[in-house]
Amino acid sequence: MRRIAQHLAPELAPRLLGEQQAGAAEAELQALAAEGLQEAYFKDAGRRAGDLLVEFTDID
């Protein structure tokens, strides 16, 4: 288990909220959050881990 406290890109918030308001399933919202997390935390805005794909498999 890893605790991550990472700010996501500001442009992700409207996407997440829009999808939530449109009735997106929790898995779809998690996929969007994972996308933002992979860019900000793991890929460091394109400076590393270019081929990495992040997927939430369990959230506590």
DSSP alpha helix (H) spans, 1-60: 12-21, 26-37
Task: Identify which of 56, 3, 13, 15 has the alpha carbon closest to the alpha carbon of residue 34.
Answer: 56
Q: Could you give the CA distance from residue 49 to residue 47 in angstroms, rounded to a whole number?
A: 7
Residues 11-20: contacts with CB under 8 Å, at least 24 apart: 12/36
Which pLDDT score is estimated for 19? Answer: 94
Tell me the C-alpha distance between 21 and 54, whole Å: 24
Query: Along the chain (60 residues), what's the average pLDDT of each consecutive run of 10 residues?
Result: 80 91 92 85 76 76
pTM across the whole model = 0.70
